[in-house]
Amino acid sequence: MTLSVRDLTVRFGGIAALGGVSFDVRPGSITSLIGPNGAGKTTAFNAITGFLRPTRGLISYGGAVLSGLRPCDIARRGVVRTFQKTSVFPSLTVLENVLTGLHLRGRAAVWSALALRRSVREEEATLRSEAETIVTFVGLAHRRGEVASALPYGEQRLVELAVALAAHPSILLLDEPAAGMTGVEKDVVGRLVRTIRDQGITVLLVEHNMRVVMGLSDTVIVLNHGAVIAEGPPATVQSHPDVIRAYLGTARAES
Amino acid sequence: MRRTAGILLALVALTVPFWIANPYFLHVVIMAGIFGILALSLNLLLGYTGQLSLGHAAFFGIGAYTSALLTLRLEWSFWPALPAAVVAAGIAGWAIGRLALKLRGAYFVLVTISFAGVVALVSINWMELTNGPLGLPGVPAPELGSWSLRTKTAYYYLVLAGAALSYEVCRRLIHSRIGRAFVALRENEPLAESVGVDGTRYLVLAAVVSAGMAGLAGSLYAHYTRFVSPEVFLFTYTVTMVIMVVAGGKGTLAGPLVGAVLFTVLPEALRAATSWQWQMLAYGVILVVLVFFLPRGIVPTLFR
């Protein structure tokens, strides 16, 4: 299923954070959205996942229109995101965090939960083992019983990734997953993202670290001042004159 | 270990009337049970979803009035009146939830306070229905066949059953994906939404269950004191519930019950121990000391 963004415009008062952006995210790919600070990357994420109502434009996934839906309905359609600032359920343990992320996987309704039906207990056991699998996948099995807010920064970001994976996305939007991480941690995240893609989950990445972006992406989309200035494979984009200008500035702009 | 403690506690609860012969002490225990249900109910919202209702006495009062009016005016028996009280309070909770939980936080607090104020005014001024400030005397005691539950011992078991039911409802909800959704909304609402938790829906659900439970307590109260007046809507009741939940440990299953027992017994014990001038002062000091030294509440501090 293709995530397609057409003419996406977001205005805050008189300022256009995004001015008519269009791009497609090919299914099964790792696509990166890059650009200098304030280029509109996170705004695009917020608009796609329903946290922000676009001023204009159409966002659709696999043909179904997403614009106008609430975040929880968008998640139900398989579009799941992480946040730029670390975002976990702070006072829950790592395993409970993931278990909470599995919300959509459960079916139990109020009445069956109150009646403590067998189907509910079986479902609970299934969810628990699934949560264990995901915790192990991101490499936090040894931390499963620890409270999320007590973990070091890098591991909290992994918890966040695990929570998002628990929601069973078919496309995962990662907002700077490697920001503030050490070199080793960045490599771990890079490997995880690749494995996630190999399992058939499309990945849309916002990232500042060029090493991560260029090493990982199939397609790179460059945003600047709320508009797409380049799009293509990493090597092509890297040598694109507009991109170089956006990142490094020109001699004239510098002076 | 936990299981043994649970069985022991259940045994104690079941035998209370046998070792508390003094009817006044038994009265205090019954009131503790009714407040226990109220505290469990408030905790569902405050402790798990993180939304503070400062109008919880309204749901308690709606339950009390519904039950009293149905038995007095329509001569219903207690047994259908009790679930009717739960439903009436639950519907009120749904309406308030739909209205206020789109905004949440401080707005929810304000809407619940005003709601309680409005309901109290209605109960005072709608003379034809509620008999106004004079209240409704002569609410019948429940009967089971030819057996009247008007003795304190019998009523104790009725309240105990109500409290056990409320506890079990809370426990099952909290240990399901529904309870996890409640907690997710308390912990981090954007993240909860991003993994598919429908915030408004679950908050309204919590409000309905919580209000219904408060309605149950209201009905039990009405048929115990056999008299309902607008006093059931007093803000003091809500404050007492909040104190019980916070001191006992919000967001825990046992906390509200511990808080309810402590803060029903404490004022009575102080009444016996000191003169009236010192009662409220001592109550206040104990409360401050508790919150200061056990900020997370009694249960989380002792059992973690």
Mean pLDDT of chain B: 90
What number of C-beta contacts closer than 8 Å exist between A and B?
Answer: 95
Q: Is B195 in contact with A90 (Cβ distance < 8 A)?
A: no
pLDDT tens sequence across A232-248: 998 888 888 888 887 77
Tell whether A91 is within 8 A of chain B (Cβ): yes
Residue A84, domain member (yes or no): no
Q: Is B173 in contact with A51 (Cβ distance < 8 A)?
A: no
Structure tokens at A82: 């992480």
Q: Are residues A206 and A249 in the same domain?
A: yes
What's the pTM? 0.91
Residue A250, domain member (yes or no): yes
Give CA–CA dist A100/A94, Å, rounded.
10
Mean pLDDT along residues A183-189: 89
The model's confidence at residue B6, banded by pLDDT at 50, 70 and 90, is confident
Q: Are residues A94 and A61 in the same domain?
A: no
Q: Which of A133, A166, A199 is the last residue of a domain?
A: A166
From chain A, pick out residues whose CB is under 8 angstroms from the CB of B184: 89, 100, 103
What local confidence, expressed as pLDDT, does residue B103 receive? Answer: 74
Q: Are residues A157 and A205 in the same domain?
A: no
From chain B, pick out residues whose CB is under 8 angstroms from the CB of A103: 177, 180-181, 184, 192, 195-197
What local confidence, expressed as pLDDT, does residue B40 receive? Answer: 96
From chain B, pick out residues whose CB is under 8 angstroms from the CB of A164: 194-195
What domain count does chain A have?
2
Q: Are residues A39 and A142 in the same domain?
A: no
Mean pLDDT along residues A163-179: 93
Residue B12, domain member (yes or no): no
What local confidence, expressed as pLDDT, does residue B1 receive? Answer: 67
Residue B2, domain member (yes or no): no
Which CATH number goes with the domain that contains B98? Answer: 1.10.3470
Residue in A with minimal Cα distance to B165: A114
pLDDT at residue B247 tops 50: yes
Mean pLDDT along residues A154-164: 94
Best mutation target among B178, B191, B252 (most A Cβ atoms within 10 Å) is B191
Q: Is B196 in contact with A104 (Cβ distance < 8 A)?
A: yes
Q: Are residues A234 and A110 in the same domain?
A: no
| Portion 157-186 of B in contact with A at CB < 8 A | 169, 172-173, 175-178, 180-181, 183-184
Q: Which of A148, A166, A184 is the last residue of a domain?
A: A166
Residue A112, domain member (yes or no): yes
Residue B250 near residue B167 (C-beta atoms within 8 A): no
Residue A83, domain member (yes or no): no
What local confidence, expressed as pLDDT, does residue B139 receive? Answer: 87
Q: Are residues A74 and A175 in the same domain?
A: yes
Residue B288, domain member (yes or no): yes
Interface ipTM: 0.91
C-alpha distance from residue B115 to each of A220, B48, B275 (Å): 54, 22, 37
What local confidence, expressed as pLDDT, does residue A86 receive? Answer: 84
From chain A, pick out residues whose CB is under 8 angstroms from the CB of B197: 72, 103
Q: Which of A166, A189, A218 is the last residue of a domain?
A: A166
Residue in A with minimal Cα distance to B201: A72
What local confidence, expressed as pLDDT, does residue A250 receive? Answer: 62
Mean pLDDT along residues A47-74: 92
pLDDT tens sequence across A94-112: 999 999 999 988 887 888 8
Which CATH number goes with the domain that contains A209? Answer: 3.40.50.300
Residue A22, domain member (yes or no): yes
Residue A110, domain member (yes or no): yes
From chain B, pick out residues whose CB is under 8 angstroms from the CB of A106: 176-177
Considering only the beta carbons, identify the residue of A70, A110, A160 that sits closest to B178.
A110
Domain extent for B129: 21-302
Mean pLDDT along residues B91-106: 86
Best mutation target among A69, A72, A74, A120 (most B Cβ atoms within 10 Å) is A72
Give CA–CA dist B275/B284, Å, rounded.
15
- Which one-letter amino acid corresponds to residue A31? T
Q: Is A110 in contact with B183 (Cβ distance < 8 A)?
A: no
Residue B265, domain member (yes or no): yes
Tell whether A165 is within 8 A of chain B (Cβ): no
What local confidence, expressed as pLDDT, does residue B304 receive? Answer: 62
What local confidence, expressed as pLDDT, does residue B298 receive? Answer: 87
Give CA–CA dist A66/A53, Å, rounded.
11
pLDDT tens sequence across B166-225: 999 999 999 999 999 999 999 999 999 999 999 999 999 999 999 999 999 999 999 999
Token look-up 């079916």 returns A107
What local confidence, expressed as pLDDT, does residue B81 receive? Answer: 94
Mean pLDDT of chain A: 89
Tell whether B197 is within 8 A of chain A (Cβ): yes
What domain count does chain B have?
1
Considering only the beta carbons, identify the residue of A89, A92, A167 that sits closest to B196.
A167
The model's confidence at residue A253, banded by pLDDT at 50, 70 and 90, is very low
- How close, in Å, is residue B294 to chain A by CA atoms? 18
Domain extent for A206: 1-78+169-255
pLDDT tens sequence across B271-291: 888 787 888 888 888 888 988
Q: Are residues A13 and A58 in the same domain?
A: yes
Alpha helices in chain A, H assignment, sequence order: 41-48, 71-76, 94-101, 110-114, 118-137, 153-166, 183-198, 210-216, 234-238, 241-248, 251-254
- How close, in Å, is residue B102 to chain A by CA atoms? 13
Q: Are residues A133 and A117 in the same domain?
A: yes
Residue B181, domain member (yes or no): yes
In percent, the amount of chain A with pLDDT more than 90 equals: 60
Q: Which of A140-144, B64-68, B161-165, B297-301 has the lowest mean pLDDT?
A: B297-301
Q: Are residues A178 and A255 in the same domain?
A: yes
Q: Are residues A124 and A239 in the same domain?
A: no
Q: Which of A127-131, B12-16, B252-256 has the lowest mean pLDDT?
A: B12-16
Gap between the terminal Cα atoms of chain B: 14
pLDDT at residue A251 tops 80: no
